[in-house]
Each structure stands twice: as C-alpha cells, then as structure tokens.
C-alpha cells in the first residue's frame, strides 16, 4: 500500500512532533525541505537561516538513523521548487502518495499554503505547548480583558509549577518588582559558551553566505547550537552559571555584554530542540534543590509558562489579520538605522550592532530600545514586524507578531498589553550604561543634544492623548505634561517635529 507524506517543518525538529507520532515508519515518507521562500520571507538574517537549515539537516539524519524513510530537499538541489507546497507535491508525485499529514504550522501564511494543496491534508494540533488553542479560548471566553498575569496564575495552578499545594511557592505569584535591578558596574557576567560550527553547520553557513549575501546580518561568527545535545549543554550551562542572577538583572542592559544573565534558548525552544516543559521543570528543580533563589526561578518560569504561552494563545485567537493591525495609525517608514545605518544614539547603535553580529538581543533591548523608538517615532507597525521577523534567530511569526504588533507597538489596540511600553531616556539611563557614551545627553529635555527619546516620548503622548489619557495607568503622565510651562511644551513638540522631519529626510539621528 502506498504511504502518506509526513511533512516536517523547520520548526518541528523533535521526534515527538504530532505528525511523526501519527505516522507509520515502514510505509510513510517523511518530507523535509530547505526552500528559498522561507529564507526570504522576509529577508532573514543569515544566522537565522543557517540555524534552521543546519538543525533541519541534523534532525533529518537522526530520523533516518532511527529507521524513518526521509526525503530531504537541500536548498541547492537542482529539482528544488523552492516552496514548501512545491516540494510536497514533487515528493508526493514521485512516491505516488495521495495524502499529507502535517503538524499545524505556526504561521497562518504557511498553513494556508499547505491547506491549498491539491491533496487531502490532515493538520494535527501542535501539542508541544502547555496550553492548547482550545484551552486558551476556554480561559479567554467571557473575559473583558485578557491579561498575562491572570493567565499565568491559572497555568501555575494547572501545571503545579512552583506551587506549594494551592499556594504559590515563596508566598507570592510574581516577583517582578524584585527583577528590575540595573546592571551592577564592573561585575563581569559568566562567559556565554557557544559552539564552533561542525561540518554540517559549516557547509550550511557557506551555502547561506553564497545564497543570501544581500540579507542584513553577519553569518559568522556563528555560535548557535544546531542539535538537541548541543542545546541541552548550553541550557545546562545557563542553569549552573546564570540562572541564579537571571531574575534580579532581567531588565538590565550593558554595552559590550549582550547576554548578561539571559538563557539564550529561544531558537531552541521555537525550533523544537528543547521543550518548554523540560526547561521549566529543570528550573524548578534548581530552586527546590536550593541552588537558585525563588525570584530567579519564578522570573524564568513566568517568561516560558506565562508570556510564551499567552502570546501563542493571542496569536491563535486573533487569526490571520493580526499582523495588519495598526490601531495607532502609524505610517512612518522604517529608518535606515534599523539596517545598520549610522546613528548618534548609543543605545540604538549597540542594540542593532549586536543584532547584526549575533541575530540576538534580549527582551529589554527589543522592547525598550528598538521597539520603544519605533513606537515613539510612529513607524508603520507592519514594517517594524517585518524587521523583527527577519533579524532574530528565534523569530517565528506566532511568537514574534504578538510581541511586536501587540506588546511593543500597541498596534493591536491593547490585546497583549494594557498600556503601551513607552519611556523617555530616563528609563534607558537607569537600566543601562549606554547613555554615558552617547552623543546625546539623557538629562537634556530640549536643545541640540536632547535625547531623542525625551522629545519623542511627549510627542507620542500628545499625539495619542484621546486614546491614552482615560487609561488610569497613564493619567499621571498627562498631569506631568500639563504642569509644564506652556512655552516649554511648545519647544518640546517643535523639537520633536524637527527630529521626525530629519528622520524622514534620511538624516543621521
Ligand atoms: P530569556 O530572557 O532568558 O527568557 C527565557 C525564555 O522565555 C526565552 O527563551 C523565551 O522562550 C521566553 N520568553 C521570554 N519573554 C518572552 C515573550 N515576551 N514572549 C515569548 N516568549 C518569551 N521571542 C521569540 O522567541 N521570538 C521572537 O521573534 C521574539 N520577538 C520579540 C520582539 C519584541 C519586540 C519583544 C519585546 C520580544 C520578543 N520576543 C521574542 C520575546 C523575548 O524577547 C525573547 O524570547 C527573548 O529575548 C529570547 O532570549 P532568551 O532566550 O535569552 O530569553
Ligand atoms: C525559519 C525557516 C527557514 C529560514 N527556512 C525553512 C526552510 O527552508 N524549510 C522549512 O521547512 N522551514 C523553514 N523555516 C521555518 C518555517 O519558516 C516555519 O516552519 C514556519 O514559519 C511556520 O511556523
Ligand atoms: Fe539612548 Fe538617549 Fe541614552 Fe543616547 S542619551 S543612549 S539616545 S537613551
């Protein structure tokens, strides 16, 4: 009897994926395909492409070694049609197969492409998450507002993670208030280990260098893990050397120290090399063994069990139109600084240089530097979304879009966050050491060296006064603005307008 096509996508790299669990190794054909359509939608960072392709090659080899029949399309195979749907059809025709099984893709785009195949397709739920789409909808139903904190508490109760009976471990659900220490001066953070590329990874990096030399970002040095054993060893190193300080310094930023105490595991979780359940269980075990404080264990578990699952639930509920949302009507073009263009802003320069070199920036850099600037400057959220989707190794639409369109740009009108994440330069100054080395002066509110964040912060609030003033969490900001002398307010707005005009004219800001 002719077997079925079992399509395994580049972010489904675990033998426990639903489509493989439903397959017959003797009969069915596993299809995996490296295609230009995925590498170029949008123009992905070379390290992101290399990470996914190298991990795919190694996973395919492991499946074949475990006895599966695998048809693997390399990017430069002469017959490669360069789309996922094209490769499924090609393999199905060669095999004489009439049916496709796939674990549901994270993107609506790819889901539509696969559903449009002229073959019967079975989409199986992706069961790698703590919370299914159905469970999230049931939780969300009837609530006026969806807030991460309530979802997170429910998930703690449901999973028993960091629980003492029906009480949260440590006596409180959330240690966020204790997780906001600025980086301590002069303290060296533990070295972040990485891997010298092995032969498979090296081949892929060279291929990516040849094929995608027009994409933003450096292909080398490439330090990412590209298989489960490597990813596990990096995660173990995080548990042993950085988890203890993860909580207190979660929001800190330090020039020249891109990682600090962060885990740097998001590409592995998103691609399937690590599972969210195992990393949360391991972190809880460190706390129960007395090796790390509760605020670090809770801080980490809140990100994975709380935020990661929450944004996926929002993504599934919101449906395909989510990335086109633009609640604030922002339409400015993305300035060249995001693609490595010159800037006088030290915080932007550091975050974007690190993004170019590593395809990584940590959460507060993404949210309060590049995201904050885009939101304050009124940049088109669709362009901001394309940028984030292309430049980070962990960027897959289901997790990137709610973070960008929702949390960072408030373009979903408040589905993900209850208020926009905006700040003046004071926040960046408090949490980082960037301002000391900047051409602008963070203490200057107006004048030739005024920090752009200071000017644009007020411009943003004034632009969107009708929407945000009624929000109780923002009223105080408007009172502060109203208390400023009228001539000062006029100067701030005029200088902000001039700054935006310079940005539009392509001047270095
Ligand atoms: P750590 O700080 O060590 O946290 C541990 C883990 O928690 C992460 O690996 C990640 O899996 C999870 N996590 C933390 N915060 C979030 C969050 N807000 N949403 C989902 N998971 C979270 N994360 C992605 O995986 N892909 C993206 O494309 C992405 N785009 C983002 C864009 C913006 C504008 C913002 C503000 C955040 C984005 N995030 C994204 C979330 C977060 O910034 C990254 O998950 C994190 O920086 C990855 O680095 P890490 O592994 O060192 O994380
Ligand atoms: C991210 C990515 C890249 C760069 N390349 C491929 C690829 O060539 N083949 C593939 O199957 N998957 C790739 N991926 C991951 C997909 O983009 C991901 O599966 C979809 O975005 C669905 O979430
Ligand atoms: Fe960034 Fe302003 Fe500080 Fe310069 S002064 S680093 S622009 S926050």
**Distance between Cα 148 and ligand 1 center (Å):** 15
**Distance between Cα 376 and ligand 1 center (Å):** 22
**Distance between Cα 84 and ligand 2 center (Å):** 9
- CB 384 near ligand 1, within 6 Å: no
Q: Which domain holds residue 433?
A: 336-504
Q: Cis ω on the peptide bond leading into residue 221 (within 30° of 0)?
A: yes
Question: Does 306 share its domain with 442?
Answer: no
Question: Does 15 share its domain with 139?
Answer: no
- What pLDDT is recorded for position 186? 62
Nearest atom (ligand 3) to Cα of 441: 5
Q: For 470, what's the count of Cα atoms within 13 Å in the CB-facing half-sphere? A: 2
Nearest listed ligand to the Cα of residue 373: 3
**Distance between Cα 490 and ligand 1 center (Å):** 38
Distance CA(399)–CA(126), nearest Å, equals: 14
Question: What CATH number should be reported for the domain holding residue 412?
Answer: 1.10.579.10
Nearest Cα neighbor of 261 from 167, 331, 184, 199 is 184
Question: Does 90 share its domain with 119?
Answer: yes
Question: What CATH number should be reported for the domain holding residue 89?
Answer: 3.40.50.620
- CB 308 near ligand 1, within 6 Å: yes
Whether 199 is covered by a domain: the verdict is no
Mutational test site, ligand 1, from 292, 398, 403, 405, max ligand atoms within 8 Å of CB: 403
Whether 228 is covered by a domain: the verdict is no
Q: Which residues, including other chains, have CB under 8 Å from residue 492's CB and lie 6 or more apart?
A: 445, 446, 455, 458, 459, 484
Mutational test site, ligand 1, from 363, 372, 387, 401, max ligand atoms within 8 Å of CB: 363
Q: From the CB of residue 33, how many other CB atoms can be counted at a distance below 10 Å?
A: 28
Question: Does 151 share its domain with 285?
Answer: yes
Nearest Cα neighbor of 390 from 104, 46, 93 is 46
Question: Does 312 share its domain with 408?
Answer: no
Question: Does 352 share its domain with 488?
Answer: yes
Question: Does 358 share its domain with 483?
Answer: yes
Whether 410 is covered by a domain: the verdict is yes
Q: Are 455 and 499 in contact (CB under 8 A)?
A: yes
Question: What CATH number should be reported for the domain holding residue 275?
Answer: 1.25.40.80
Nearest listed ligand to the Cα of residue 445: 3
Domain end among 317, 347, 378:
317
- CB 152 near ligand 1, within 6 Å: no
Q: Which residue CA neighbors atom 13 of ligand 2 most closely? A: 10
Binding-site residues, ligand 2, Cβ < 6 A:
9-11, 33-35, 38-39, 44, 49, 52, 84, 105-107, 110, 396-397
- What pLDDT is recorded for position 188? 67
Domains in the chain, number? 3
Domain end among 317, 352, 367:
317
- CB 376 near ligand 3, within 6 Å: no
Whether 175 is covered by a domain: the verdict is yes
Whether 116 is covered by a domain: the verdict is yes
Question: Does 303 share its domain with 343?
Answer: no
Mutational test site, ligand 2, from 6, 10, 42, max ligand atoms within 8 Å of CB: 10
Whether 263 is covered by a domain: the verdict is yes
- 3-class SS of residue 73: strand
**Distance between Cα 7 and ligand 2 center (Å):** 12
- What pLDDT is recorded for position 492? 98
Q: Which residue CA neighbors atom 10 of ligand 2 most closely? A: 10
Question: Does 306 share its domain with 340?
Answer: no
Structure tokens, 86: 């094209």
Whether 202 is covered by a domain: the verdict is no
**Which helix (H) or strand (E) element contains residue 139?**
helix 133-140
Question: Does 36 share its domain with 58?
Answer: yes
Structure tokens, 488: 């000062």
Question: Does 75 share its domain with 168?
Answer: no
Token pair 């929407």 is at which residue?
467
Helix axes 133-140, 309-318, angle to 10 degrees: 80
Nearest Cα neighbor of 235 from 196, 203, 281 is 281
Domain end among 317, 347, 364:
317
Question: Does 115 share its domain with 141?
Answer: no
Nearest atom (ligand 1) to Cα of 361: 47
Whether 209 is covered by a domain: the verdict is no
**Distance between Cα 149 and ligand 1 center (Å):** 17
**Distance between Cα 424 and ligand 3 center (Å):** 9
Q: Could you tell me the mean pLDDT of each successive run of 10 residues in the chain, 509 residues long?
A: 92 98 97 98 96 98 98 97 98 97 97 97 98 97 94 98 97 86 72 92 98 98 98 98 92 92 97 98 98 96 98 97 98 98 98 98 98 98 98 98 98 96 98 96 98 98 97 96 98 98 97
């Amino acid at each position: 009897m002719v077997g079925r096509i079992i399509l395994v996508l580049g972010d489904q790299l675990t033998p426990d994926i639903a489509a493989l669990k439903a397959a017959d190794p003797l009969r069915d054909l596993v299809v995996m395909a490296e295609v230009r359509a995925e590498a170029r939608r949008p123009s992905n960072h070379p390290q992101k492409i290399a990470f996914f392709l190298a991990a795919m090659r190694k996973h395919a080899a492991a499946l074949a070694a475990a006895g599966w029949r695998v048809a693997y399309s390399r990017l430069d195979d002469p017959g490669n049609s360069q789309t996922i749907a094209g490769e499924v059809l090609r393999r199905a025709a060669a095999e004489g197969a009439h049916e496709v099984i796939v674990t549901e893709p994270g993107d609506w785009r790819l889901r539509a492409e696969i559903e449009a195949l002229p073959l019967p397709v079975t989409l199986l739920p992706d069961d790698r998450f703590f919370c299914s789409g159905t469970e999230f909808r049931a939780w969300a139903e009837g609530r006026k507002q969806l807030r991460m904190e309530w979802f997170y508490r429910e998930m703690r109760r449901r999973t028993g993670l960091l629980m003492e009976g029906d009480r949260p471990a440590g006596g409180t659900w959330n240690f966020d208030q204790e997780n906001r220490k600025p980086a301590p001066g002069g303290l060296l953070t533990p070295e972040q280990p990485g891997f010298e590329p092995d032969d498979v990874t090296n081949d892929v990096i060279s291929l990516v260098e040849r094929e995608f030399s027009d994409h933003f970002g450096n292909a080398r040095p490439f330090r990412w893990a590209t298989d489960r054993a490597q990813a596990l060893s990096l995660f173990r190193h995080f548990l042993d050397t950085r988890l203890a300080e993860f909580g207190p310094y979660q929001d800190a930023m330090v020039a020249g120290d891109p990682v600090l105490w962060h885990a740097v595991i998001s590409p592995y979780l998103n691609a399937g090399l690590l599972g969210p359940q195992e990393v949360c269980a391991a972190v809880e075990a460190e706390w129960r063994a007395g090796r790390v404080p509760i605020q670090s264990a809770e801080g980490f578990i809140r990100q994975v069990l709380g935020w990661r699952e929450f944004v996926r639930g929002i993504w599934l509920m919101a449906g395909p139109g989510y990335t086109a949302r633009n609640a604030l009507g922002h339409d400015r073009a993305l300035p060249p600084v995001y693609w490595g263009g010159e800037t006088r802003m030290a915080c932007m320069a550091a975050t974007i240089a690190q993004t170019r070199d590593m395809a990584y920036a940590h959460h507060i850099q993404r949210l309060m530097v590049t995201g904050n600037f885009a939101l304050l400057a009124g940049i088109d959220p669709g362009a901001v979304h394309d940028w984030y989707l292309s430049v980070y190794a962990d960027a897959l639409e289901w997790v990137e879009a709610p973070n960008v369109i929702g949390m960072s740009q408030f373009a979903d009108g408040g589905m993900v966050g209850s208020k926009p994440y905006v700040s003046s330069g004071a926040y960046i100054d408090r949490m980082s050491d960037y301002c000391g080395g900047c051409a602008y002066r963070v203490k200057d509110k107006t004048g030739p060296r005024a920090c752009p964040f200071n000017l644009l912060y007020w411009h943003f609030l004034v632009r969107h006064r009708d929407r945000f003033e009624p929000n109780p969490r923002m009223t105080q900001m408007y009172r502060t603005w109203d208390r400023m002398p009228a001539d000062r307010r006029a100067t701030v707005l005029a200088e902000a307008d001039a700054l935006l005009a310079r940005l539009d004219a392509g001047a270095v800001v």
